[in-house]
Homo-oligomer: A and B are copies of this chain.
């Protein structure tokens, strides 16, 4: 999205440019309504490299889906939370989850099947507050 040419024929195309790719939807999903640190996200996405996570977070921030808050401490601390745009995405991703669980149950880890459908919260993120400052 932010680095591409933006000539979309269809809104679906624009949406997938924002959250397509291997990681972006997953990152948004894992942050959820909570606040997540870099290492939290990385722990939830074991296969992502620091490099990729950094790139995707930057891209999500440029697209206005997440907010990055950096605390100048030692050791450094950076927190990510969703903007309103990002949060509005959560119910959609949630529906997509239900869809995948319905039609591809055999490819979904078992602990997701027994989860109450319709409730975000894929990883260890919790549904506490998210005082984002956008």
A residues lining the B interface (CB < 8 Å): 1, 6, 8-16, 18, 20-22, 25-26, 29, 45-46, 64, 85, 88-89, 91-93, 95-104, 107-109, 112, 122-123
Contacts and interface: CB of A to CB of B under 8 A. Distances in A.
A103 B102 CA distance: 29
Given A88-B102, A92-B96, A8 B123 contact: no
A2 to B, nearest CB: 10
Given A64-B103, A100-B18, A29 B12 contact: yes
B64 A15 contact: no
Contacts of A46: 9
B10 A112 contact: yes
